Amino acid sequence: MTDINTETAVEGDEVELTEYTSESEGPVAGAEPVRRPTASAPGAATGRRKQAIARVRIVPGTGEWKINGRTLEQYFPNKVHQQIVNEPLTVLELDGAYDVLVRVHGGGPSGQAGAVRLGVARSLNGVDEELNRPALKKAGFLTRDARVPERKKAGLKKARKAPQYSKR
């Protein structure tokens, strides 16, 4: 932001405005310093998305990922999926603070990535709810996406696809 200097003519008891800035001065005297989350305790949670279910354990460590016995890069070669599962740790600035151990089954890669993200967010929330919950809630990581595939109906080929109609 830019500073705007103004000089005003003053009559009577009014105070003269000499300088205006829209930026804050910094920390206010007497205000509490902002507490940063720290990797202090282990946590565990379950995440679900579409047909995928992920059981997640986090323990203070060096940032190592193990998903079904494989590393993050081996299990999710797609960079987008790697970013999705890492988001809760990134939002809380805890990259490299926890080792993440995951067992995931069902669904496809996208659903599994979403399930792991929810599991990681829930386990971080369980570690320190007072400190971690507001940031995770604001980012939308604690909300379960309840959308699941629609069931197939009798007389149809899929959930909504009808057999081809022939007039004659």
Query: Measuring CA to CA, which residue among 65, 43, 38, 42 is closest to residue 123?
Result: 43
Lowest mean pLDDT among 24-38, 61-75, 128-142: 24-38
Q: Under DSSP, is residue 51 helix (H, G, I), strand (E, B) or coil? A: coil
**Alpha-carbon gap, residue 37 to 151, rounded angstroms:** 43
Higher-scoring residue by pLDDT: 37, 116:
116
Domains annotated on the chain, with CATH: 43-139 (3.30.230.10)
Please give the mean pLDDT across all residues of the chain: 85
Q: What is the pLDDT of residue 51?
A: 92
- pLDDT band per the 50, 70, 90 thresholds, residue 14: low
Higher-scoring residue by pLDDT: 11, 69:
69
* pLDDT of 17 strictly over 70: no
| Percent above pLDDT 90 for the chain | 65
| Percent above pLDDT 70 for the chain | 77
* pLDDT of 27 strictly over 60: no
**Alpha-carbon gap, residue 120 to 46, rounded angstroms:** 8
The length of the chain, given as a count of residues: 168
80 exposed, middle or buried (CB, 10 Å; 0-12, 13-18, 19+)?
exposed
**Alpha-carbon gap, residue 23 to 83, rounded angstroms:** 33
Query: Measuring CA to CA, which residue among 39, 44, 41, 42 is closest to residue 55?
Result: 44
Question: 89-132 pLDDT, tens per residue?
Answer: 999 998 888 999 999 999 999 999 999 999 999 999 998 888 99
What are the CA-CA distances from residue 55 to residues 48, 69, 84 (Å)?
Answer: 9, 13, 16
Phi/psi of residue 52, nearest 5 degrees: -90, 145
For the entire predicted model, the pTM comes to 0.73
